Amino acid sequence: MDVVQLQSRLSEYLKSLFNDGTLDGQFLQLQQLQDESNPDFVVEVVTLFFSDSEKLLDDLSSSLEQPNVDFRKVDAYVHQLKGSSSSIGAQRVKNACIAFRGLCEEQSIPACLRCLQLVKQEYLYAKNKLETLFKLEKQVVAAGGSIPSLDAGS
Amino acid sequence: MNCASLNLLGKKMVYLVLIPDEAMLTMGVIRPKADVIQLLLILLIILTAIPTVSFVFLMVSTACRDMQLSSTLIKQMEVTQSAESKCMNKSTAFVQASHDIRASLAGIMGLIDLSYDDIGRHSDLRKNLNQMKKCAQDLLALLNSILDASKIEAGKMLLEEEEFNIAELIEDVVNLFYPVAKKKGVDLILDPHDGSVLKSSLVRGDRGKLKQIISNLLSNAVKFTSVGHIVVRAWTGKLSLDNTILPTPPRMRKKILSCLHYCRHEEGTDVLLSTESQDIRNCVEFFCEVSDTGSGITKEKRKSVFENYIQVEETNEGQGGTGLGRGIVRSLAKLMGGDIEIIDKEIREKGTCFRFNVLLAVPEPVVEQELETVDKEAEQSFSHWQVGSILRSLTRALSIRSQSPRRTSSPNSEGSQVILLMQKDERCSVTQRFMRRLGIEVFVVNQMEDLDLVSRKMQPRLKTSFSSHSLSGFSEISSKSGSLRRSGSNKCFPVGGNDSPLRLVEGTNHIVAVQMQTSRKHRTGLVLIVVDATMGPFPELHRVVNEFRDGIPRSSKVIWLDKPLSRTVDRRLFAEGSGDPINLVLSKPLHGSYLFEVIKLLPEFAGPMDRRPFMIAAESPAERASQMTSQEIKVVNDANPLSGKKVLVADDSAINRRIAEKYLKKLGASVELCKDGTDALELVRDGLLERMNSHPSAMLPYDYILMDCQMPGMDGYEATTRIREEEKGYGVHIPIIALTAHDSGPEARRIFEVGMDYHLKQPLSEDRLLEAIASLRCG
């Protein structure tokens, strides 16, 4: 495939991510922050997000499996996950976290466990999508093109 | 000879015919003469032949010798030329290599800087990195001196021209070397001398080279002095060709031109071309002297001191060096139209004294109105401009003083008095001399216990001015002073009738200005006590000083000079409110602009726009210039609204930290990251302390703090509370921006309760960040 085709595939894919709510405007802001001095900024931050979130999810699982669940701790973890996901623009993950926090207030363990599952699912979905996105970007760059920038309107 | 017989008439006669042989005849007669003549002729020929021959011989031989000589000369010239060109080639090759080395060194330093980011604060690796950086910097300095020397040799050293403040420059260099000298136990003193440098401190010239000269002299002085003091003083001298700023007649100008031309030819290097234009009229000769009490240089060695590659004195610690420094210094001084020499010190003083002079152009004197606007703009921070305005107002005061001898003639019982309580050393006498020159009455006390004696010395004069004031007036004042009365030591006895109500509110800002106007009539002076806080145990000292102040009937202020790093002054003993007009703490050394600022506290010298007399409370002169070596002043760029600002980001999430950092860097700021409240507090605390001691021009270690509210350990709220507490001790306020999702409710209120200044919602966005900065700037 030639460069132009690759680029159009990339932008289509990115658009789809916005359309289904996986990513929001914050992701675009991150892309705008990327420049020649930090050409891999977005990848870097998202990778950080992945490792951070995985750790948080593990912590969440283990704390919900405790005999005496400390809901404040759980809330704190969820708050963190919410913060980081909103910072990179992982909208669906963020929304799931917001829902989770509401459940924490009710302090119902089964509900929390179910919500945790939901959060995990959304996270994996987002991770998958982002990884594909980066792969496409790499292809474009390897073919000699530059990653087209998307403005918020399109 | 013929003999014939003849028969004549029967008579026999014999006649003899004697025919002499002709030849024999001539020979016979002229023979003796012919000999002589012959002889003479031969002689003559010989005589003429000899000189001719010898003459010819000489000519030939001279010609031969000539040819020989010229051939040898040509050979020699060729040889020298080839040697020179070899030398030049070698130099160029060296220079080229040096440039490459310099590039690599710069690369290394840059990489070291980058590596700092990944290191924890107190790890060993960081210490090692610091050491590496220092070594790289040393290498760079050595390399630069070699390059400079070769540049000068090649005649390619050009002078730049810019406007700068020479008094400030000298002070900065002194501040730069002060800590190093202090570590060795040597006091580095800046002597304002006669204050002449202040009068014409704005000059045009090559700032960098001048700084290089002074730095080199100072570094040598520090290197070779292990005990005693080093004094730096500067003054202006009269330019022999032109004293005034009046326009010179054309022939004078030509004289000057020719003089400069002569200088140029002498050196074969380029002299400031601009001096050949109108600025010639405004050339001022600046003299600067660096005098130390080190090992000294013997007379024999003095000649070779300025030769390249010769190091004359023995160093105590075997410090290295190329020996190029002084040679470069001399070349630079000559380039700037001056020279450097070693001056003989007083007989019993040991050490060396270097004096150099340069010619600098002084631009047209600044108009008064300009000064006022400059003062207004400079109020923002204790920046260089403010220093300039301080100096200018001081010089105005100086000139006022000198123009009104009537005021200075009397012992001035109404004038201010200064008491210096410090050790009897060079610094003390320098300060004393300068103040006396300004017409201030100075008393020096070398021991705590002698303070009483001084008060007695002062008393008789004060008593005469203690004109009767009505008690009713006093009671009126006492009601006003109710709020100002502190620990009973703030008794203000008004001196001079109608000024009395004003004296008590001395602490307030604008009154000082009013006082300036009124004080022209009634010289109500102030007693300023400058105390070296290390002279004795601090509580004791404090007590003695307070007793002294109680004993004198005039208002007084105390300036405590504290050691920069180990604070001996305990501020808690100053039982004062937030106004704090009485006690000020400054870091040693007290010289330069800080000295002037202190002098300005005296009402006679306070400038009309002096609205910040007490900001110096927390600033110190030492090492202000260390900033300048690494980064010269950053130009504020509107496209980068945070250009030159330092921001601290406290957030436990690595992602948020990274993103915030990127945003801020994009806006031009330099960023520091930390991951919880405890770290943030520590950073701020250390930063404030460090700034206190070393970077007084930028009081704030950070221009903004982005604080995440929810963090494990110490959260944002608590951290802010503690930071605000720390700040109180320094009288500053760092804008803190809260990062939180709560924008209403009790959490939101808490944000402002703990003292945060603004609130941003996560996630960060550039626009909102800019908005926050903008509103914090205006607010």
Q: What's the pLDDT tens digit per position in B227-250?
A: 888 888 888 876 544 443 334 344
Please tell me the CATH superfamily of domain A3-142, with its number: HPT domain (1.20.120.160)
Residue B325's H or E segment, with its range, is helix B325-335
Give the integer Cα–Cα distance in Å for B380 and B611.
11
Which of the pair, B366 or B695, is modelled with greater confidence?
B695
Point out which residues pair with B646 in neighbouring strands: B670
Q: Quick one: tokens of B481?
A: 């002073």
Sequence-ordered list of residues with C-beta below 8 angstroms from that of A70, at least 6 positions apart, any chain: A63
Structure tokens at B269: 């290097």
Residue tagged 């000079």 (tokens): B561
**Shortest CA distance from B660: residue in chain A:** A87
* B25 pLDDT more than 70: no
- How far apart (Å, rounded) are the C-alpha atoms in residues B722 and A75? 26
Considering only CA atoms, which of B724, B723, B730 is closest in space to residue B698?
Answer: B730
Q: Is the pLDDT of residue B394 over 60?
A: no
Query: What's residue B564's pLDDT?
Result: 66
Q: Which of B445-454, B719-728, B764-773 has the highest mean pLDDT?
A: B719-728
Q: What is the pLDDT of residue B518?
A: 37
| Res B460: pLDDT | 54
**Contact, B488 vs B515, CB < 8 A?**
no
Chain-chain contact of B655 with A38 (C-beta, under 8 angstroms): no
**Is-contact B613 B603, C-beta < 8 A?**
no
Mean pLDDT score of chain A? 86
Which of B659, B671, B708 is most worth mutating to test chain A (most A CB atoms within 10 A of its CB)? Answer: B659
Report which of residues B61 and B243 the model is more confident about: B61
> Which residue bears the tokens 């310099």?
B102
The answer on pLDDT for B273 being more than 70 is: no
Of A30, A52, A76, the CB nearest to B659: A30
Chain A positions in Cβ-Cβ contact with residue B666 (cut-off 8 Å): 33, 35
pLDDT of residue B58: 94
On whether the CB atoms of residues B666 and B699 are closer than 8 A, the answer is no
- Model confidence at B327, in pLDDT bands (50, 70, 90)? confident
Of B680, B700, B679, nearest to B688 by C-alpha is B700
**Per-residue confidence at B696, pLDDT binned at 50, 70, 90?**
low
CA nearest B191: which of B231, B237, B133, B250?
B231
Is a pLDDT exceeding 50 seen at residue B420?
Answer: yes
* Residues of B whose CB is below 8 A from A87: 653, 655-656, 659, 762-764
Size of interface A-B (CB pairs under 8 A): 48
Closest CA to B421 of B315, B540, B339, B516: B540
Query: Mean of the per-residue pLDDT values for chain B?
Result: 70
> Which among A65-79, A113-127, B143-157, B377-391 has the top mean pLDDT?
A113-127
Between CA B744 and CA B756, with CA B750 as vertex, the angle to 5 degrees is 105
**Mean pLDDT score, B652-662:** 85
The letter for the amino acid at B103 is: A
Interface test with B, best of A50, A73, A87, A95 (most B CBs within 10 A): A87
pLDDT at B149 over 80: no
Q: How far B700 CA sits from the closest chain A CA (Å)? A: 28
CA diameter of chain B? 202
The single-letter DSSP state of residue B487 is: T
CA B59 to chain centre: 67
CB atoms within 10 A of CB B164: 20
Chain B interface includes A31 (CB < 8 A): no
Residue B690 sits at the chain A interface (C-beta within 8 Å): no
Q: How confident is the model at residue B40 (pLDDT cuts 50, 70, 90)?
A: very high
Render pLDDT for B255-266 as a digit per residue (tens, 0 to 9): 555 555 444 444
Q: B540-598: per-residue pLDDT in tens? A: 877 887 887 777 777 777 877 777 666 666 666 665 544 445 677 677 777 777 777 77
Task: Report the pLDDT averaged over residues B70-79.
Answer: 93
- The predicted-structure confidence for B722-761, as pLDDT tens digits, reads as follows 888 888 877 788 888 888 876 666 777 788 888 888 888 8
The secondary element (H helix, E strand) that includes residue B291 is: strand B283-292
Scanning A49-68 for CB atoms below 8 A from B yields: 49, 52
pLDDT the model gives residue B73: 93
Query: 């799931």: which residue's tokens?
Result: A96
| Of B520 and B159, the one with more pLDDT | B159
Percent of chain B surpassing pLDDT 90: 7
Side-chain-side CA neighbours of A119 within 13 Å: the count stands at 28
- The per-residue pLDDT for B44 is 94
pLDDT at B364 over 80: no
CB contacts of A52 in chain B (<8 Å) are 653-655
DSSP B640: B
Residue B285: per-residue pLDDT: 84
Q: Is the pLDDT of residue B520 over 60?
A: no
Q: Which residues contact B133 (CB under 8 A, 6 or more apart)?
A: B109, B112, B113
- pLDDT reading at B527 higher than 70: yes
Measured in whole angstroms, the distance separating CA B344 from the mean position of its chain's CA atoms is 23
Residue A110 reports pLDDT greater than 60: yes
pLDDT digits (tens, 9 = 90+) for A32-78: 888 777 788 888 889 989 998 999 999 999 988 888 888 888 888 89
8-state DSSP, B636? P
Band (B286; pLDDT cuts 50, 70, 90) = confident
| pLDDT tier for residue B169 given thresholds of 50, 70 and 90 | confident
Per-residue pLDDT of A90-104, as tens digits, reads 889 999 998 888 888
Average pLDDT rounded to a whole number, residues B101-109:
85
Nearest-Cα residue of chain B relative to residue A86: B763
Rounded CA separation B287/B194 (Å): 12
Please say if the pLDDT value at position B106 is more than 80: yes
Measured CA to CA, the distance from residue B238 to residue A147 in angstroms comes to: 68
What percent of chain B is modeled with pLDDT above 70?
61
Q: Which one is predicted more confidently, B10 or B656? A: B656
What DSSP assignment string belongs to B697-758? TS--S-SEEEEES--SSS-HHHHHHHHHHHHHHHT----EEEE-S--SHHHHHHHHHTT--E
Q: What integer pLDDT is reported at residue B361 of this predicted model? A: 81
pTM of the complete model: 0.47
CB contact under 8 A, B653 and A87: yes
Q: Reply yes or no on whether the pLDDT at B158 is more than 90.
A: no
Residue B470, pLDDT > 60, answer: no
Question: Which comes out higher in pLDDT, residue B80 or B727?
Answer: B80
Both tokens assigned to A125? 């979905």
B764 in A contact zone (CB under 8 Å): yes
**Nearest-CA distance B763 → chain A (Å):** 5
Give B555: exposed, middle or buried? Use CB within 10 Å, 0-12, 13-18, 19+.
buried
Which has more pLDDT, A42 or B404?
A42
Q: Measured between CB atoms, which of B658, B663, B762 is closest to A83? A: B762
For chain A, helix, strand, coil in percent to 5 are 75, 5, 20
H/E run at residue B204: strand B202-205
The residue among B113 and B567 whose pLDDT is bigger is: B113
**What's the pLDDT tens digit per position in B196-230?**
767 777 888 888 888 888 888 888 888 888 888 88
Q: For the stretch B188-217, what's the b/e string if a residue is b when 16 or more beta carbons lie within 10 angstroms of its beta carbon?
A: bbbbbbbbbbbbbbbbbbbbebbbbbbbbb
Q: How confident is the model at residue B55 (pLDDT cuts 50, 70, 90)?
A: very high
The per-residue pLDDT for B474 is 36
CB contact under 8 A, B763 and A45: no
Written as six digits, the tokens of B727 are 């700040």
Is B19's pLDDT higher than 80?
no
Q: Which of A38, A48, A87 sits opposite B763 (nearest CB)?
A: A87
- Alpha-carbon Rg for chain A, nearest whole angstrom, is 17
What does DSSP say about strands B228-237 and B283-292: parallel, antiparallel, or unpaired?
antiparallel
pLDDT at B59: 95
- pLDDT at residue B190 above 50? yes
- Beta bridge partner(s), residue B287: B235, B357
Is residue B654 less than 8 Å (CB to CB) from chain A?
Answer: yes
- What is the pLDDT confidence band of residue B281, given thresholds at 50, 70 and 90? low
